[in-house]
C-alpha cells in the first residue's frame, strides 16, 4: 500500500514538474506568425521588471536598455510587469509607431499605470473621445490663451517666486519650482489657491509622484502604496469639488473644471464624470511635474556650463535693454525672439529625458525590418536611446545648445527628437512648458546669480529624480 502511495505521489510530482517546465518554456518561447525580435522574457510572470526599475545615477541611457541594445540591437523583446513588450530605439520604427496611431497601434500602458492614472485616463482613450478631450485642453494650453493670458501670469509667478527664494538662505529648487508651477496651473484648472484652501492638494501629488515609476507592490511602506494613497486623496478632493459645482447651476465659468462641468451638463454629454475626473487628475499632475524636473536639471546644467550661461544671459539682457520701462513685463514678441533660449530648452529636454518610455499596443501583427510584433503586444518607444545616440547627436552627453542652431523649429515629434511625444498624442502642454521654462530662465539670468549649496545628484528608476534634492542660494545681481 505504501509503495502505491509513493508511486502516486511521485507521479503527481513529476507531472507538476513537467507541466511547470512546459509552461515556463511556452512563457519564454511564445508562438508568433513570424520572427520575433531577439531578447529575453526573464523569469516567468516577473519577467525583467526588477532590472527595468533598477536605479541608475546617470543621464546616460539606462543599463537595462543599454545592455540589451549592445546585445540584441535597436529592437528587442522583454517582459515588464507581466506583459510582453517590444522595446525600440530604432528611429524609423519609433516614427512609424507614432504615425500609425489609431491604425496599427494605439496608446497603451501596463495595468499598473492604468491603476495609477485611472481607468478612464486620457492615455487609455482612443479615437473621437481622445480628440474631443484634446480640443478642450487646447482651449487652456493652446497658443492663443498662452499669448493672451498665461504668459503674463507665468511672468508674474516666476518674478515673485524668485524674489521670495532670494530672501532665504537657500531653497530646494525642485520642490520650489514644483510649488510655483502647481500653484499657477492649479489656479487655472480648479481655481485652487493654497492660502485659501484647507486641503494641501500638492502634498497628495508629491506622494503620488514618489511611487509613480516604482515596482508595483501595493503594501504599506512601499513607494507604490504611497502613490496609490496620494491618488485616492487627490481624487477625494476633486470628487467633492465636482459634486459642489454640479449642485450649483448658477455658478459662472471661472476655470477649466467649470468647462468640463458645462460639458457634463449637456443634454447628451460626450464624456462621463469618471473621464472628467481622471482628466483633471492627469492635467494637475502633468502640468507641473515634468516641467519642474526639466527646469531643475536645466539650472544644474547652466551652472556647470558657464559659456552657455553667458550666451543665454547676453540674449536676455538685450531684451531688457530694449524695453521702454524697467518694470515692463515679458511680451509675446520678446518670448518669440529668444532664439538661443529655444536651443537651450531643447537641449535640456533632450538630456533630461523625463519620459523613459512611450507605450503603444499593436492592434494586429506588424512586420518591420524582418521582425514580427504580434497583435496585442506592447511596444515601448525609448526616447533616451534616440536622444543619446552618438550616431544622431555628436558627443550626446555634452550640454551643447548650439547643436540646434539653424535647425527647423520642432512643432511635433520627429524621428530624432521625441521629448514631447509624437504623432496624434504629441503633448498638448508642450507650448506651456516652453513658455514656463523660457520665462523662468529670463528672470533667473537677468536678475540673479546662484550657487549650489548641496545636492543636485540624479537617479533614474527609470524616471528622473533628485534623491537628495538640489539646494541653491540666490543672490540679486543689483
Domains of the chain, by residue range, sit at 119-353+388-476
Q: Higher model confidence: residue 433 or residue 427?
A: 433
Q: What is residue 232's predicted lDDT score, i.e. its pLDDT?
A: 84
Q: For 103-127, give one letter per residue: b (16+ CB within 10 A) or e.
A: ebbbbbbbebbebbbbebbbbbbee
For the chain, give the mean pLDDT. Answer: 85
Cβ atoms of 451 and 387 within 8 Å: the answer is: no
DSSP 358: E
Q: What is residue 291's predicted lDDT score, i.e. its pLDDT?
A: 92
In three-state secondary structure terms, 241 is helix
Cβ atoms of 418 and 430 within 8 Å: the answer is: no
- pLDDT bucket at 478, cuts 50 / 70 / 90: confident
Does 7 have pLDDT greater than 80?
Answer: no
Longest dimension (CA), the chain: 104
Cβ atoms of 313 and 198 within 8 Å: the answer is: no
The grid coordinates listed for 248 are 450649483
Does 25 have pLDDT greater than 50?
Answer: no
- pLDDT bucket at 209, cuts 50 / 70 / 90: low
- pLDDT bucket at 53, cuts 50 / 70 / 90: confident
Does 99 have pLDDT greater than 60?
Answer: yes
DSSP 149: I
User: Can you tell me the distance from the alpha carbon of 438 to that of 428, in angstroms, rounded to the nearest whole number?
Assistant: 17
Cβ atoms of 384 and 62 within 8 Å: the answer is: yes
- Residues 285-311 have a mean pLDDT of 92
Q: Which CATH superfamily is domain 119-353+388-476 in?
A: Cytochrome P450 (1.10.630.10)
Annotated binding site: 427
Most confident among 71-85, 209-223, 306-320, 449-463 (mean pLDDT): 306-320
- Residues 47-65 have a mean pLDDT of 86
Q: What is residue 449's predicted lDDT score, i.e. its pLDDT?
A: 96
Annotated binding site for heme: 427
- Classify residue 363 by burial, with Cβ atoms within 10 Å: 0-12, 13-18, 19+: middle
Does 26 have pLDDT greater than 60?
Answer: no
Provide φ and ψ at 371, rounded to 5°.
-105, 155
- pLDDT bucket at 11, cuts 50 / 70 / 90: low
- Residues 45-62 have a mean pLDDT of 84
Q: Higher model confidence: residue 227 or residue 124?
A: 227
User: Can you tell me the distance from the alpha carbon of 21 to that of 246, in angstroms, rounded to the nearest whole number?
Assistant: 57
CA trace torsion 323, 329, 335, 340 (10° rounding): 70
**By C-alpha distance, which of 202, 442, 261 is closest to 342?**
442
Report the first-to-last Cα separation within the chain, whole angstroms.
97
Q: What is residue 101's predicted lDDT score, i.e. its pLDDT?
A: 87
**By C-alpha distance, which of 447, 454, 451 is closest to 469?**
454
Q: Higher model confidence: residue 412 or residue 378?
A: 378
Helices 201-210 and 223-246: angle between axes, nearest 10 degrees = 150
Q: Higher model confidence: residue 56 or residue 147?
A: 147
Q: Higher model confidence: residue 339 or residue 112?
A: 339
Q: What is residue 8's predicted lDDT score, i.e. its pLDDT?
A: 53
The grid coordinates listed for 153 are 501670469
Q: What is residue 316's predicted lDDT score, i.e. its pLDDT?
A: 97
Does 308 have pLDDT greater than 90?
Answer: yes
Q: What is residue 217's predicted lDDT score, i.e. its pLDDT?
A: 67
- pLDDT bucket at 220, cuts 50 / 70 / 90: confident
Q: What is residue 23's predicted lDDT score, i.e. its pLDDT?
A: 41
User: Can you tell me the distance from the alpha carbon of 315 to that of 101, in angstroms, rounded to the nearest whole number?
Assistant: 39
Cβ atoms of 83 and 378 within 8 Å: the answer is: yes
Q: What is residue 195's predicted lDDT score, i.e. its pLDDT?
A: 66
Tens-place pLDDT, residues 108-147 = 876 666 666 666 666 666 777 888 888 888 888 888 999 9
- pLDDT bucket at 19, cuts 50 / 70 / 90: very low
What percent of the chain stands above pLDDT 70?
84
User: Can you tell me the distance from the alpha carbon of 471 to that of 169, in angstroms, rounded to the nearest whole number?
Assistant: 10
Provide φ and ψ at 174, rounded to 5°.
-60, -50
Q: Higher model confidence: residue 204 or residue 400?
A: 400
Q: What is residue 463's predicted lDDT score, i.e. its pLDDT?
A: 79
Beta carbons within 10 angstroms of residue 394's beta carbon: 9
Q: What is residue 116's predicted lDDT score, i.e. its pLDDT?
A: 65
Amino acid at each position: 500500500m505504501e509503495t502505491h502511495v509513493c508511486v502516486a505521489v511521485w507521479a503527481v510530482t513529476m507531472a507538476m514538474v513537467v507541466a511547470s517546465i512546459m509552461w515556463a518554456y511556452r512563457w519564454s518561447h511564445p508562438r508568433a506568425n513570424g520572427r520575433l525580435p531577439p531578447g529575453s522574457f526573464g523569469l516567468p510572470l516577473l519577467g525583467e521588471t526588477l532590472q527595468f526599475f533598477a536605479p541608475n545615477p546617470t543621464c546616460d541611457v539606462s543599463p537595462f536598455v543599454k545592455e540589451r541594445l549592445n546585445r540584441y540591437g535597436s529592437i528587442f523583446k522583454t517582459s515588464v510587469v507581466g506583459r510582453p513588450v517590444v522595446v525600440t530605439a530604432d528611429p524609423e520604427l519609433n516614427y512609424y509607431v507614432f504615425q500609425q496611431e489609431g491604425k496599427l497601434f494605439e496608446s497603451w500602458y501596463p495595468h499598473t499605470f492604468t491603476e495609477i492614472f485611472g481607468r478612464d485616463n486620457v492615455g487609455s482613450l482612443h479615437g473621437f473621445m481622445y480628440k474631443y478631450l484634446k480640443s478642450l485642453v487646447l482651449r487652456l494650453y493652446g497658443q492663443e490663451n498662452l499669448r493672451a493670458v498665461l504668459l503674463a501670469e507665468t511672468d508674474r509667478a516666476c518674478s515673485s517666486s524668485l524674489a521670495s527664494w532670494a530672501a532665504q538662505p537657500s531653497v530646494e529648487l525642485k520642490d520650489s519650482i514644483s510649488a510655483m508651477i502647481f500653484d499657477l496651473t492649479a489656479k487655472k484648472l480648479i481655481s485652487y489657491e493654497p492660502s485659501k484652501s484647507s486641503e494641501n492638494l500638492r502634498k497628495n501629488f508629491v506622494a503620488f509622484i514618489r511611487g509613480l515609476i516604482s515596482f508595483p507592490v501595493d503594501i504599506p511602506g512601499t513607494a507604490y502604496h504611497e502613490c496609490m494613497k496620494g491618488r485616492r486623496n487627490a481624487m477625494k478632493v476633486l470628487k467633492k469639488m465636482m459634486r459642489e459645482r454640479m449642485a450649483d447651476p448658477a455658478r459662472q465659468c471661472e476655470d477649466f473644471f467649470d468647462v468640463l462641468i458645462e460639458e457634463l451638463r449637456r443634454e447628451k454629454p460626450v464624456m462621463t464624470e469618471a473621464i472628467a475626473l481622471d482628466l483633471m487628475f492627469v492635467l494637475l499632475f502633468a502640468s507641473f511635474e515634468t516641467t519642474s524636473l526639466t527646469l531643475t536639471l536645466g539650472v544644474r546644467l547652466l551652472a556647470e556650463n558657464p559659456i552657455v550661461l553667458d550666451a543665454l544671459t547676453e540674449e536676455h539682457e538685450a531684451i531688457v535693454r530694449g524695453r521702454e520701462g524697467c518694470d515692463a513685463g515679458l511680451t509675446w514678441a520678446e518670448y518669440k525672439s529668444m532664439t538661443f533660449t529655444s536651443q537651450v530648452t531643447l537641449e535640456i529636454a533632450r538630456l533630461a529625458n523625463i519620459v523613459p518610455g512611450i507605450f503603444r499596443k499593436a492592434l494586429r501583427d506588424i512586420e518591420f525590418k524582418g521582425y514580427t510584433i504580434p497583435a496585442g503586444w506592447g511596444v515601448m518607444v525609448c526616447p533616451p536611446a534616440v536622444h543619446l545616440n552618438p550616431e544622431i547627436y555628436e558627443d550626446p552627453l555634452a550640454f551643447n545648445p548650439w547643436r540646434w542652431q539653424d535647425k527647423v523649429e520642432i512643432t511635433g515629434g520627429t524621428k530624432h527628437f521625441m521629448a514631447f511625444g509624437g504623432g496624434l498624442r504629441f503633448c498638448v502642454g508642450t507650448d506651456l512648458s516652453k513658455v514656463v521654462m523660457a520665462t523662468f530662465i529670463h528672470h533667473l539670468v537677468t536678475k540673479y546669480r546662484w550657487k549650489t549649496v548641496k545636492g543636485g545628484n540624479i537617479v533614474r528608476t527609470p524616471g528622473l529624480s533628485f534623491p537628495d534634492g538640489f539646494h541653491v542660494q540666490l543672490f540679486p545681481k543689483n
